A and B are shown apart, each in its own frame.
Chain A
Amino acid sequence: MTGLRIPPEAGAERVRAGGEWTAELADAADPQAQASARPARRFGVAGWLRWGWRQLTSMRTALILLFLLAVGSVPGSLLPQEGSNPEAVAQYYAAHPGLAPILARFSLFNVFGAPWFAAIYLLLFLSLVGCVLPRTVRMVGSARQPPPRAPRHLVRLPLSVSYRTAQPPEQALASAARLLSGKRFRVRAEADWVAAEKGYLREAGNLLFHIALLAVLVSIGLGGLYGYKANRLLVAGTSFSNTVTALDVFRPGRLVTPGDLQPFSLTLDSFSASYVMSGTLMGQPSAFNAALTYTSAPGGPSRRYVLTVNHPLVVDGVRVFLLGHGYAPEFRVTDGTGHVVLNGPVPFIPVETSGFTSEGAIKVPDASPQQLGFAGVFLPTTVDVGGRLASAFPAPLKPSVSLVSYAGNLGMNGGTSQSVYTLDTAGLHQLAVAPRPLTAGQSIQLPGHLGTLTYLGYRQWISLAITYDPGQFPALVSGIAVLGGLLLSFMVRRRRVFVRAGPGPAGETIIEVGGLSRSDASGGFEDEFSGLATEIRGVIGPPASPAPAPRGRPEEHRGDHEPPEGE
């Protein structure tokens, strides 16, 4: 492959031309060369520290850390994660009892909170700081520096052109310098050369990009310390307040105390889901609307809000999202002694989406003489498929509930927490009740005078995600800065143009124009250079008469402008 070729002498020229340039080059392109160029000597503690720092901040290390970051993220996407899906982790433990503890030992169920993952990104960001800080200092330092000296032989630069003119060298150089500073180049003019540089914003953009990445990390950290996430299931017609005890799941940041929670409360007035009624996508949901009434503080005015999927409710900086929905059949249970021991909705969990078949458990620990339990299936649109009941559509077109009845010990006093949606049948015996789907108003008479259950109808419930993240806005600003920095560093090119003028053998003036672009990610420096060279020729004036006529334009070396070549 071909690429940049710096002949030894030209490289030396460039060192003389601008020490800072070479330093940048070595920094950006070849830290190893820089390191190995240092004389071998006995390292003291400081020497080792400096060596370690140099290794850490080298581009090669950054590259390896970047790779590690990518590779390290992979298990986080392939294995279930505690943070997003704890149920799946539990399932994984059940399915792979041997493997799971080993994986857990390496935090593979919590990759993005794992110490080794943190080590990778902290090292990466340390390496970034080590790379960015010196560059910032250097950039600030070079902001007032004039461009470096022009190399002795401009023809050795990547782009160059030369021609002859009748104008005396001083005059020619003055015209060129005027032209270049008119084009907002920073110009340094000396006796027999002019050096001009432009595109300092590229380095600024590059730095902005990397600093903004650091700011994104800090913002995420801010959210992790002071923010919190919570979940709450809310049945239509009920309310809750934003307190730790009222929340089903509460994940506070490290520095959050229960007193920090914003004291709003909200009521779900009604919920409706609409579905596609025909066609191939029949049964797919098309809209969810939850009508809420909320107050931002106790005693405050109550407001109304219609919560939909992409439109969270914002109260006091906290955002409330509609995550999911389901059915909560309502029951009334009278026990063997004639007391009503349960009267209200019991949320069932949807187990499939096409018919929204939902399952749940009704637990009646207060029933006497025996505790009662029911495992139930709610079918929104009940159909009989060859003797088996199923739900054909997610909307409640023909709702019914089927129950299996149990009596005995619910096992709720054992101290171990159990799911409210499933029944632990270990201490229970099934009751002989004819399996028959209940429609609203129908009852089951339990055998042995254990009581009666009446299915009253259903309500709907929604699940809410409640999040507070003070790092969100800083993260957004940093993200925009990341993008801005990226665009600047890709679109601006830093380039230098040199003009030399000297007397030729026949008394005329020989003009050399050379160009160099350190970074030209989006291309186009050749075009710019050839344009500039033509303009410089224009201002410098016509060639001395006997010289062979130079070509109209400096030859270009980009295919898109190339005149078709004869084959």
Chain B
Amino acid sequence: MPINVGLAHLSNGLLLTAVVIYAVAMLAFACDFAFGKKRAPAVARARVRELVSAKAAAGAADSAVVGGPVVEAEDGLADEPLADGPGADGSGPRGAEDGAAEAVRRAGRGPVGFWVTTAVALTCVGLALHSAGVLTRGLAVHRLPWGDMYEFVTALTCVAVAFFLGAMVRYRAYYMGLFVMASVVLVLGLAETVIYTPAGELPPALQSYWLAIHVTAMTLATGIFFVAAVTGVTYLVVDRHARRVAAGRPAGADGILRRLPGPAELDRLAYRTIVFGFPVWTFGVMAGAIWADYAWGSYWSWDPTETWAFITWVVYACFLHARATAGWRGRRAAVIQLTAFVCLLFNVLVVSLIIPGQHSYAGLH
């Protein structure tokens, strides 16, 4: 069937508009940081909580009491990092620690301000246009619109934004908006300018329903890991800031960082995102193996792209194990997670474009 040129043009227009709207949403998220309602500083709030906790402890006999460590032990034992932050050595009064942790946790919460509402609305509009752009591209070429590199990137950023919106609603993680939107705008902007490929048919090797299954899973997982990576970077920044503050050293960017949740929450968000993405990635690699079996006669042939998908899988597995191992939690786990994402990016951007292999379908000549 011939390419529908009109729809392909419509798709380009929709995607460009989406990038612009995302950029505005990003600005709105930034404005929230700059002009949004100021929250009480974490330390002051911690003191209030401490008093409350102390009072609650005193009246434990007859009033409803909720155990102190509720906040930071959400994941239970094995999955949760051992405390290694300030005041975590168990020496301080428990109520105070927990109160502080809770205060940090809640610093990014509370009623949603004007800028956040605007930003979320814009993100939704952008996502609608973005999805429509991906959809019309698919309609234009009569297949699933993730056949070449450009299509893959537009689709995976679409997944990332959708996943982020979901996570934002579920965890009220509005603070991540600026970081997610900034990276989405950057990636999508590069896709539109550097690797844009006009709509076209696929070579015979890609004409299989396993393309739909394999590449869809890979696109989904990449989008999810993208969100996890952004969270991971934020975690490292916040964690560093928290350490500097704890050590009494000067720490810049206080205004922005105070609005972010504590490292524990970011760590948990990243972990749960990866727990969501890892099975999808596993499934995608397996679907790829099945497809390879149909197409090339061998389900695993250590093609460079396969190898790097395997490396990515192994490094994410490292992350999952590291998070359950003493001495590897926190920063190290975050670094491992980011390493895994770098492997993924390397695979997408370098291996499939430069190293010859059976996956050389990027559509760039």
Contacts and interface: CB of A to CB of B under 8 A. Distances in A.
A565 to B, nearest CB: 6
Contact of B67 (A78, A155, A551): A155
Nearest to B200: A281
A517 B77 CA distance: 7
A564 B111 contact: yes
Given A59-B324, A490-B275, A560-B171, A2 B263 contact: yes
Interface in A53-85: 59-60, 62-63, 66-67, 69-70, 73-74, 76-78, 81, 83-84
A525 interface: yes
B286 A559 contact: no
A310 B210 contact: yes
What is the interface of chain A mostly: helix, strand, loop, or mixed?
mixed
Interface in A514-567: 514, 516-523, 525-526, 547-548, 550-551, 554-555, 557-560, 562, 564-565, 567
Contacts of A88: 356
A559 to B, nearest CB: 5
A30 B170 contact: no
A469 B321 contact: no
A28 B84 CA distance: 19
A1 B63 contact: no
Given A472-B293, A517-B75, A564-B110, A159 B279 contact: no
B298 A467 contact: yes
A158 B69 contact: yes
A4 B73 contact: yes
A479 interface: yes
A482 interface: yes
Interface stretch (B17-25, B130-138, B184-192, B304-312): B304-312
A78 B300 CA distance: 17
Contact of B295 (A3, A59, A155, A310): A310
B74 A28 contact: no
A220 B300 contact: yes
Interface string B94-123: 100100011011100111000000000000
Contacts of A311: 294
B198 interface: yes
15 contacts: A3-B82, A3-B329, A28-B78, A28-B324, A59-B324, A66-B318, A77-B351, A220-B300, A229-B297, A279-B200, A310-B204, A310-B205, A479-B289, A486-B282, A519-B75
Interface of A: 1-5, 7-8, 24-25, 28-30, 32-33, 59-60, 62-63, 66-67, 69-70, 73-74, 76-78, 81, 83-84, 88, 111-112, 154-164, 220, 229, 276, 279-281, 284-288, 308-312, 319, 321, 323, 465-467, 469, 472, 475-476, 479-480, 482-483, 486-487, 490, 493, 495, 504-505, 510, 514, 516-523, 525-526, 547-548, 550-551, 554-555, 557-560, 562, 564-565, 567
Given A158-B69, A517-B76, A559-B109, 18 more contacts: A1-B330, A2-B83, A4-B69, A67-B318, A70-B314, A76-B302, A78-B355, A84-B301, A84-B302, A158-B73, A281-B201, A310-B205, A319-B297, A486-B279, A493-B76, A520-B74, A525-B74, A559-B172
Query: Top 7 A-B pairs ranked by shortest CB distance?
Result: A158-B73, A517-B76, A3-B81, A160-B67, A77-B307, A77-B304, A310-B208
